[in-house]
């Protein structure tokens, strides 16, 4: 009974921490550009649009199906996905506690690791509904199954591997990089099955089953697109386009990598001490699996190469678990890491821009002045299309695709030519910004600037992070302010 009460207390504490960290963003439509677009794609799917054909991106279809589900809930989907993300973060933190305890961590250390996980989400761009906020949960459960492999019987290992690999298959359909962790978790189950004396036939049969379950969600997506004669579009967006993407400047991604390393350094030091002081007896196998999992997550992180902060979110689960034994042994270590993470979170909170009001003002002007025509968000928030309830001027509605040189040649089209096509349709409203960037697609930007100077006038300028969102209205149209929303 005491253990039950302790688990309930831990669950309540972590729920309170998750709400404290995330409730300030509930209802904010512009937490991050990515999740805005996920929600827009999910919304358009419910209106018949087919991802990769009618609205383009390179994320797996499972992520968009998840956001389409949020759009089915009451409201505009913004609060719905943010509440769901809070629940996912909390549930994942509970798995961090359970996995840390599997490594022999004291309860206080396990709870500290879970709180650091929740803080880490907010510090690394996971305040809202970034994909890892959701897929970290199935990955964490699969990892826990690998850490808790049955000690004797072979058949429970087969069942555990089946569940773990199916969970990893779900995660892979939110982003493909968890495939690296999935391979490691599958290998851990194969190793365990072999050690329990299973014959070659059983090992091969189990491995085939596990691989099939891990690939099943992706195979289902491929099958749907193949059945509808859309497989080339799916294949290009999901697998080919990323290989065509030009790299970001080395100085830019290098600074991002340094920033990520600095934020994770305390946890990395604690994890290093856990490894140095690991047991040398039979319990060492669990620790080795935990660190192999962390190595797989690091490999997945490195494979992308652009090192945006939110790409490090998948590292948090195995890293917090690996650091937990040290946090449990040393009150000083736990206090230092928690203190640093909390301080960084408070500093970030104090410097956080409140852009929600401005974003809704932009959407209000766009809605009032677009009518049945399609506005063009050249460089701005794609949530504008959803909040304003307008049509899209192009399948390539995510601004980076047409506006940035880092996507040039990777979309399968001539990006500047697509911008010129959109401008030739004379959109009633164009949304741009005064950002100073080194990665503009020069041809796209030049086309927009020429048209804005000739045919449009600025009607709204609102703060957006460290720059401003700018709304331009076609000169032959009277300005309508629209009703507050």
pLDDT digits (tens, 9 = 90+) for 276-322: 988 765 467 899 999 999 999 999 999 888 889 999 999 999 999 99
pLDDT value for 2 = 65
Q: How high is the mean pLDDT in each 10-residue block of the chain (485 residues)?
A: 82 98 97 97 98 98 98 96 98 98 95 98 96 98 94 87 98 97 96 86 95 98 98 98 89 90 95 88 80 97 90 97 96 94 94 92 97 96 98 97 96 98 98 94 98 98 95 97 70
Q: Taking a C-beta distance cutoff of 8 angstroms, is the pair 244, 401 a contact?
A: no
Percent of the chain with pLDDT strictly greater than 90: 88
Instruction: Tally the C-alpha atoms within 13 A of residue 139's C-alpha that lie toward its C-beta.
Output: 34
Question: Whole-angstrom Cα distance, residue 168 to residue 185?
Answer: 9
Q: What is the pTM (predicted TM-score) of this model?
A: 0.96
Cα separation, 92 vs 350, whole angstroms:
27
Q: Which three-class secondary structure state does DSSP give residue 376?
A: strand
Supply the pLDDT for residue 73.
95
Say which DSSP state 310 is in: G
Could you tell me the residue ranges of all domains in the chain?
Answer: 2-350, 356-474
User: Measured between alpha carbons, how far is 145 from 212 in angstroms, rounded to an integer?
Assistant: 18
- pLDDT the model gives residue 390: 98
Residue 349 dihedral angles phi and psi, to the nearest 5°? -65, -45
């Amino acid at each position: 009974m005491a253990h039950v009460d302790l688990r309930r207390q831990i669950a309540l504490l972590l729920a309170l921490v998750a709400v404290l960290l995330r409730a300030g963003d509930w209802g904010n439509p512009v937490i991050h550009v990515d999740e805005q677009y996920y929600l827009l794609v999910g919304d358009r799917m419910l209106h018949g649009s087919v991802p990769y054909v009618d609205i383009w991106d390179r994320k797996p279809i499972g992520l968009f199906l998840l956001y389409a589900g949020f759009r089915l809930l009451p409201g505009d989907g913004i609060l719905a996905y943010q509440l769901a993300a809070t629940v996912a973060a909390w549930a994942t933190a509970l798995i961090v506690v359970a996995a840390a305890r599997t490594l022999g961590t004291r309860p206080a250390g396990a709870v500290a690791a879970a709180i650091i996980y929740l803080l880490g989400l907010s510090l690394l761009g996971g305040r809202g509904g970034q994909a890892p906020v959701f897929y970290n949960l199935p990955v964490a459960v699969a990892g826990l199954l690998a850490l808790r492999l049955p000690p004797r019987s072979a058949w429970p290992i087969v069942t555990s591997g089946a569940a773990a690999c199916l969970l990893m298959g779900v995660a892979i359909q939110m982003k493909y990089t968890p495939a690296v962790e999935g391979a490691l978790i599958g290998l851990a189950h194969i190793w365990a099955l072999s050690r329990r004396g299973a014959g070659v036939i059983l090992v091969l049969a189990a491995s085939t089953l596990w691989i099939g379950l891990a690939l099943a969600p992706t195979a289902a997506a491929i099958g749907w697109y193949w059945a509808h004669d859309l497989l080339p579009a799916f294949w290009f967006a999901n697998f080919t386009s990323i290989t065509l993407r030009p790299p970001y400047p080395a100085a830019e991604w290098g600074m991002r990598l340094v920033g990520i390393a600095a934020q994770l350094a305390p946890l990395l030091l604690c994890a290093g001490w856990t490894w140095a002081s690991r047991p040398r007896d039979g319990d060492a196998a669990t620790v080795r699996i935990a660190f192999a999992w962390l190595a797989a997550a690091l490999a997945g992180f490195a494979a992308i190469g652009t090192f945006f902060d939110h790409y490090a979110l998948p590292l948090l689960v195995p890293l917090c678990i690996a650091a937990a034994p040290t946090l449990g042994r040393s009150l000083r270590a736990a206090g230092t890491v928690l203190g640093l993470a909390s301080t960084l979170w408070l500093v970030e909170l104090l410097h956080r821009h409140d852009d929600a009001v401005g974003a809704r003002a932009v959407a209000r002007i766009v809605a009032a002045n677009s009518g049945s025509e399609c506005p063009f968000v050249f460089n701005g928030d794609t949530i504008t299309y959803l909040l304003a309830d307008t049509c899209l001027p192009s399948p390539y509605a995510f601004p980076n695709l047409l506006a940035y040189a880092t996507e040039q040649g990777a979309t399968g089209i001539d990006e500047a030519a697509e911008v010129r096509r959109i401008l030739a349709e004379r959109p009633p409203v164009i949304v741009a910004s005064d950002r100073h960037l080194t990665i503009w697609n020069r041809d796209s930007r030049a086309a927009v600037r020429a048209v804005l100077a000739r045919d449009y006038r600025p009607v709204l300028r609102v703060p957006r992070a460290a720059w401003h969102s700018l709304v331009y209205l076609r000169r032959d149209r009277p300005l309508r302010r629209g009703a507050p929303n």
